[in-house]
Structure 1
Amino acid sequence: MNVVLVSSEVFPFSKTGGLADVAGALPKALAENGLKVSVFSPLYKSIDKTNLSLLLNLNVDFNAQLIKTNIYHTLKDRCDFYFIENEAYFNRDHLYGIGAIDYEDNALRFGFFSKAVLEILKALKINPDIIHSNDWQSALINVYLKLFYKDIFAKTKTVFTIHNLGYQGIFDKSYINNLGLPWDVFTLDGLEFYDKVNFLKGGIVFADTVNTVSKTYAKEIQTSENGFGLDGLLKKFSYKLSGIVNGIDIDVWDPKSDKFIDYNFNNPKDKIKNKSALQKLLGLPIKEVPVFGIVSRLAAQKGMDIFSSSAKELLESNANVQFIILGSGEKDIEEQIAQLSSRYKDKVSLNLKFDEPLAHKIYASSDFFVMPSKYEPCGLGQMIAYRYGTLPIVRETGGLKDTVKNYSNRSKNPTGFVFEKYDVKELTKTIKKAIELFNKKDELLKIAQYVMSLDYSWKNQAKEYIKLYKKIYG
């Protein structure tokens, strides 16, 4: 089976979030299962071209002009990676925008990206069985394919994965002309959304099958609470909607060989050396206290608003804890946590940046990993935490509900802590339960050893995608 996977970011070449991790790891797992896999992504300014080879020059007919396009290629993990170079659209310091402000021409940037992928496939005579697009940035592939390329790719089927329904690619309706689309797709049954054009909606409507990144999230997005205005559409297309939990790359996240951590280990009792090394690195007192790690966008969606209030409450009550936070996001939340960091220098380390090595150190050194998300399509952090014997603290939503089993006196083989209500008091109560477990060393160690044995590799999850591909391809 010949699969083309299209993503606006792919690790290790480009990354802003979990989409990149999926787009980097899933192709490798598919190839290991015998599929032929090609990956398409933009060539951003941050990508080093020295290890890529220039494969093709192409003029793409887009926005009423022929746009000069260079295609670079490399082979990695038995997969072909193709990068689309266009100076005007992708030679920028950021992938989508600066902070929370998107680039004004994102409709053109990613409309062009979607059109260019199909033109490149045509030029290279690649005739895929499956085109697997991801999120709004590549959603128009499904639209362009059905409207303009169905004779060329007559047997090709399309899979569209929604990684986060909260981001839909909504633009002024005037872009219909710029995108080269006929106005008859601008209808309630097409791309129209409150008199604007909605890329994600187009991806859903025109795809042969749609999936999202956990079974629970597939149900949640069909409700008004979590549907972001598309719940009615998703109910209508529920017959082609499913959920597959993401996996993680267990070669990248491996405590036995992780090059970013100070001490490799296979037993959670040996984590203490990493904890001490991280405390020293970040200027925290080196002592055996419960360390709560966070690697996240500092946004309300990720529960960082209730976390900042909960942390403040715990610190003011003189709780003997340390919080290590890595990430950036909404300014008000950054400021709230910065105030705590300034006031409690010996208990809070705030690192407002993206830092891959530090992320690995936090997973390997923390006792608990905090993910109190308001909603969470899948979440990778809890599965990565397991690899390092770190217990997640999560809210019962989306993929977190599917992958974390709550610690209680009644539960067999618990894997972390789960709370239901999105509330500061509930989170604080749950963190206090984790502190209690920390003081029961033997029990904590037993659970940590168990979670390290869990298998959330792409090896298993890739098989679910292969089943999905075969189902629609026949």
Structure 2
Amino acid sequence: MFQIKEVYTLTREYRDIAGAGGLKDVAQELSEALVRKGIKVTVFMPRYGFLDPEKLGFWQTGVSFSVDMDYAHEERREEISLWQGELNGVRIFLIEADRYAEKLGIYTYTEEEEKREPWKKKGTGHFDYFAMNILLQKTALCTAIYLEEKPEIIHCHDGHTACTPALAREIMGFRHYFPYSGFLITIHNAGLGYHQDVADLPFAKANTGLPWRVINDSLLNGSFNPFLCGSKYAVINTVSEQYAKELQETDLDAHTGWLGHALKERGIKLYGITNGITPEDFDPRKPEKLGLPAGFDPLKGDFAGKKVCRQELLRKIKERDLRVKAFGSPEDREGWPLLTAISRLTEQKGINILAQTLRMLYEQGEEFLTVILGTGTPEIEESLMAIARDFPDRMALLLGYDPKLANLIYAAGDFFVIPSNYEPCGLTDFMAQLMGNLPIVRHTGGLVKVKDGFNGFVYVEQKPEELAGAILRAFEVYRKDPARIKQMIKQAIEHIYENYTWDKVSEKYLELYRKALNLRPISKD
């Protein structure tokens, strides 16, 4: 069998350097798992303006060159240079370029940038997002040639790097150098707004340098779509088996503008691999690492420290000993379960449904506490604030994000609610389970790994009444059969260790890498 010795990884995020979403964890954890298997891994990503590479332990390589970056009516080149570093055995190149150095956020403008230039509105996407992506992809391919390296696999994460297979197969010079490399594209979120598509076709043609036949063959809803562009030359997967099925076999694909069906019509199968987790990173037996006031051992049924975490969380909220804005101040009551959520407060995450459900349950007089952490759309934030105002001794809304506070909420909670409309994978259910906090989820996408009554509680139809039913079922077991709750927590943790560590999940990626090798124009076997 052909041996995979070297993998290039192209990403806009990497957890220990710069992160925004779940992609940062996958890029780093998968890379490190492959290194543990003896594979050489090289990561390429931008050197954003908020990064100090020397403080991160990077050094200047002395490698620099110009990259063709034409606009529709202007032939042009951009100068790049490379910083090099190593993290846990992974070689990482940070790409130095004016286009990246001026950015203070990974994907969007910051408050500081808006103050300098008012048109760069905080929270809006970078105007040159497409060129940022193309520069990253071309630089990675040019670097391989410059260093005379021929990686067996080039792994492209999300729409930001999904054109790479087409560039390598279609552009003169690249196509002669990379016939032995296979390509994998991983879709972390196929929702509208995540494709990195561009409607200006002459610009797409000029900036990528791809032939018009490729541009015209890569259109989805009138825009040039990087996923369609790269899919002809690569194996393509998403981050759970169920999400892959939903995109190609159900109407949930409407959330993507029918990307999954467009791929299916071209005869392209979308594979699914559920993301892994490193359980040691969320082990409540090591409270110092997580910033917890006390440790506990869910596998052994020892939850004394969990009660301490709950008391500390409620104290912090009451005394406003927080780095986030708080509304409400729940009072601890014996026998009342603590319902928790850590999420973007958006419709995609189903938080509008959660808000309706919480109001309904509290108005019915149900006895439980709620703590929610996150930020989101103003309307949903306001609806949750209103509940916290109306039931201040039962619910707290914490607006913002603080990783140590998040760990405390995971550790303090009895139940963790994830009512997503769609969910490519979901990792917060794992984090909660590892800290003895059972998930209550909607049966969709990657959340189908939660089995009702085994490692959490599940509802199907996206209605407040259905979510309320699942919550009340969980509360009933909590009150009447605490031994079963302890058993479910134990089963949940064992299920993660048996199926979802990155060393296990990386084996599935190696299978897709082998499929990618079979798509090469020249076989080396």
TM class by smaller structure:
over 0.9
2:303 corresponds, among 242, 263, 269, to 269
Which amino acid is the alignment partner of residue 494 of structure 2? S
1:80 aligns with 2:91: yes
Provide, for residues 174-212 of structure 1, a one-character-per-residue CA deviation record: whole Å limited to 9, x for no partner: 32223333322222xx222232211222232332x1111
Change (3 A) 1:389 1:86: same
Q: Could you say which residue in structure 2 is the equivalent of 1:411? A: none
| Correspondences of 1:66-105 after superposition (within 5 Å) | 66-98=77-109, 101-105=124-128
The reply to whether residue 294 of structure 1 matches residue 328 of structure 2 is no
Q: Partners in 2 of 1:4 and 1:255 — Cα distance?
A: 35
Match of 1:446 among 487, 498, 504: 487
Asked if 1 retains the 8 angstrom alpha-carbon contact of 2:50 and 2:104, the reply is yes
- CA RMSD, aligned part only? 1.9
Change beyond 3 A, Cα 1:87–1:321 = farther
- In 2, Cα distance between equivalents of 1:238 and 1:285: 57
Cα contact 1:14–1:46 (8 A) shared by 2: no
1:278 to 307, 313, 316: 313
Offset at residue 297 of structure 1 (A): 1.4
Q: 1:203 to 1:356 in 2, by over 3 A?
A: farther
How far apart are 1:240 and its partner, in Å?
A: 4.1
Q: Which residue of 2 aligns with 1:433?
A: 473
CA distance in 1, matches of 2:143, 2:476: 57
Answer whether contact 1:269 1:445 (CA < 8 A) is retained: no
Tell me what 2:322 maps to. none
Contact kept? 2:162, 2:227, Cα under 8 Å? yes
Tell me the secondary structure at the aligned position of residue 416 of structure 2: strand
Q: Flag the 1:185–1:399 CA change in 2: closer, same or farther, 3 A.
A: same
Deviation at 1:87, TM superposition (A): 3.2
Cα distance, 1:44 vs. partner? 2.0
- Give the share of equivalent positions with the same residue, in percent: 30
The alpha-carbon deviation at position 259 of structure 1 amounts to 3.0
1:457 to 490, 501, 506: 501
Which residue number in structure 1 is paired with residue 325 of structure 2? none
Distance of aligned partners of 1:274 and 1:193 in 2 relative to their CA distance in 1, 3 Å threshold:
same
In 2, Cα distance between the equivalents of 1:291 and 1:415? 17
| Match of residue 52 from structure 1 | 58
Deviations 1:224-259, CA, capped at 9 Å, x for gaps: 522222233221355543111110122322222233
Is 1:247 aligned to residue 273 of structure 2? no
Whether 1:141 aligns to 2:164 is yes
Structure 2 stretches lacking a partner, 5+ long = 110-121, 319-329, 519-525
Distance in 1 separating the partners of 2:355 and 2:408: 22
**Distance in 1 (alpha carbons) for counterparts of 2:272 and 2:94:** 28
The 5-angstrom pairing of residues 391-430 of structure 1 reads 391-401=438-448, 403-407=449-453, 414-430=454-470
Size of the aligned set, in residue pairs, is 464
Q: Work out whether residues 168 and 201 of structure 1, in 8 Å CA contact, stay in contact via their aligned partners in 2.
A: no
**SS in structure 2 at match of 1:427:** helix
- Partner SS for 1:160: strand
**AA of the residue aligned to 2:241:** K
What is the CA–CA distance in structure 2 between the aligned matches of 1:48 and 1:250, rounded to whole Å? 30
Amino acid at match of 2:316: L
Task: Quote the Cα distance in structure 1 between the aligned partners of 2:359 and 2:414.
Answer: 19
Which moves more between the two structures, 418-427 or 228-237?
Answer: 228-237
1:223-262 → structure 2 map (5 Å cutoff): 223=249, 225-227=251-253, 228=256, 229-237=258-266, 240-257=269-286, 258-262=289-293
1:309, CA displacement in angstroms?
Answer: 0.9
- The one-letter code of the counterpart of 2:506 is A
Deviations 1:147-195 (A, max 9, x none): 12121112000001111111212212232223333322222xx222232
User: Partners in 2 of 1:31 and 1:348 — Cα distance?
Assistant: 45
CA distance in 2, matches of 1:452, 1:231: 33
User: Any conservation in 1 of the 2:276–2:502 contact (CA below 8 Å)?
Assistant: yes
Structure 1 match to 2:395? 348
What's the CA shift for 1:355?
A: 1.9
Separation (CA, whole Å) in 2 of partners of 1:210 and 1:418:
29
* CA distance in structure 2 between the partners assigned to 1:276 and 1:114 by the alignment: 49
2:372 to 289, 314, 325: 325
Aligned to 2:41: 37
Q: How high is the TM-score relative to the length of structure 2? A: 0.84
State the structure with more CA Rg.
2
Work out whether 1:215 is the aligned partner of 2:241: yes
Note if contact 2:263-2:269 (Cα within 8 Å) is conserved in structure 1.
no
Q: CA deviation at 1:315?
A: 2.1
Q: Which residue of 2 aligns with 1:179?
A: 208
Q: Which amino acid aligns with 2:85?
A: T
Match of 1:158 among 183, 186, 197: 183
**SS, match of residue 252 in structure 1:** helix
Task: Specify whether residues 220 and 184 from structure 1 end up closer, same or farther in structure 2 by C-alpha distance, changes over 3 A only.
Answer: same
CA–CA distance in structure 1, aligned partners of residues 228 and 402 of structure 2: 33
Q: Give the C-alpha shift of residue 372 in structure 1.
A: 0.9
1:4 aligns with 2:30: no
Say if 1:30 and 1:462, in contact at 8 Å, map to a contact too: yes
Q: 1:62–1:251: structure 2 CA closer, same or farther, 3 Å change rule?
A: farther
Structure 2 CA distance for aligned equivalents of residues 253 and 466 of structure 1: 26
Equivalences for 1:192-207 in 2 at 5 Å? 192-207=219-234
Give the distance between the partners of 2:435 and 2:377, measured in 1 at CA. Answer: 29
140-149 vs 57-66, which moves further: 57-66
Gaps of 5+ in 1: 408-413
What is the letter of the counterpart of residue 256 of structure 1? R
Aligned amino acid, residue 485 of structure 2: L
Counterpart in 2 of 1:120? 143
What's the CA shift for 1:12? 2.1
Distance in 1, matches of 2:266 and 2:187, equals 14
Could you give the per-residue CA deviations for residues 355-390 of structure 1, whole angstroms, max 9, x where no partner exists?
A: 222222221111111111111111111112221121
Tell me how far apart the structure 1 counterparts of residues 149 and 363 of structure 2 sit (CA, whole Å): 61
Q: Which amino acid aligns with 1:276?
A: Q
Q: 3-state SS of the aligned residue for 1:47?
A: coil
Number of the residue aligned with 1:410: none
The change in CA–CA distance for 1:175 and 1:261 in structure 2 (over 3 A counts) is: farther
Question: What is the SS of the residue equivalent to 2:281?
Answer: coil
For 1:387 and 1:237, locate their aligned partners in 2 and report how far apart those are by CA, in whole Å. 41
1:361 to 408, 421, 439: 408
Residues 410-434 of structure 1: per-residue CA shift (max 9 Å, x gap)? xxxx100111111111011111111
Task: Give the match's secondary structure for 1:95.
Answer: coil
